[in-house]
Homo-oligomer: A and B are copies of this chain.
Amino acid sequence: MTNTQVTLVQIDNYGPWTVTPEPRREADLQTMQSRLYADISQFVGNRGGYTFFTRFDNIVAVTNGCSMADHALLQESVGNRYPVTLSLGVATGRDPVQALSDATERLQDAGSAQDEDRRECLEGRAIDEEFRADDDVQIAHFDVIDATGNYTDELNAFDTFIEIEQGYAELMQHMRHVHDSLSFFVGGDNVIVVCPDLGEADYEEAVAHVAESVDVEMQVGVGRGKSAHEAGYDAKHALETCRADGTRVELEWENA
List the interface of chain A (C-beta within 8 A of B): 8, 10, 14-15, 18-19, 23-35, 37-39, 41-46, 49-51, 53-58, 60, 73-74, 76-77, 80-83, 97, 100-101, 103-105, 108, 112-114, 148, 152-162, 164-166, 169, 172-173, 176, 182, 186-189, 192, 229, 232-233, 236-237, 240
Contact = CB atoms under 8 A, between A and B. Distances in A.
Contacts of A192: 26
Contact of A53 (B34, B43, B240): B34
12 contacts: A25-B229, A26-B229, A28-B76, A31-B41, A35-B38, A42-B42, A54-B157, A60-B158, A81-B83, A82-B83, A97-B156, A105-B156
Contact of A97 (B46, B158, B166): B158
A62 to B, nearest CB: 11
For the residues of A in contact with B, the DSSP-based class is: helix
Contacts of A237: 23
B157 A8 contact: yes
A45 B23 contact: no
B30 A38 contact: yes
B161 A58 contact: yes
Contacts of A43: 42, 46
Count of chain copies: 4
A235 to B, nearest CB: 9
Contacts of A46: 27, 43, 73-74, 77
A39 B39 CA distance: 9
Nearest to A60: B157
Contacts of A23: 233, 236-237, 240
Given A15-B188, A30-B51, A55-B189, 17 more contacts: A18-B188, A19-B236, A26-B192, A27-B77, A28-B80, A30-B187, A31-B39, A34-B35, A34-B53, A35-B81, A39-B42, A42-B43, A46-B73, A60-B161, A100-B156, A159-B176, A165-B169
A237 B187 CA distance: 31
A154 B109 CA distance: 10
Top 10 A-B residue pairs of the complex, sorted by shortest distance between their CB atoms: A27-B45, A56-B187, A23-B236, A28-B80, A101-B156, A34-B34, A169-B169, A34-B38, A104-B156, A31-B38
Contacts of A236: 19, 23, 26
Nearest to A154: B108
Contact of A14 (B53, B80, B165, B188): B188
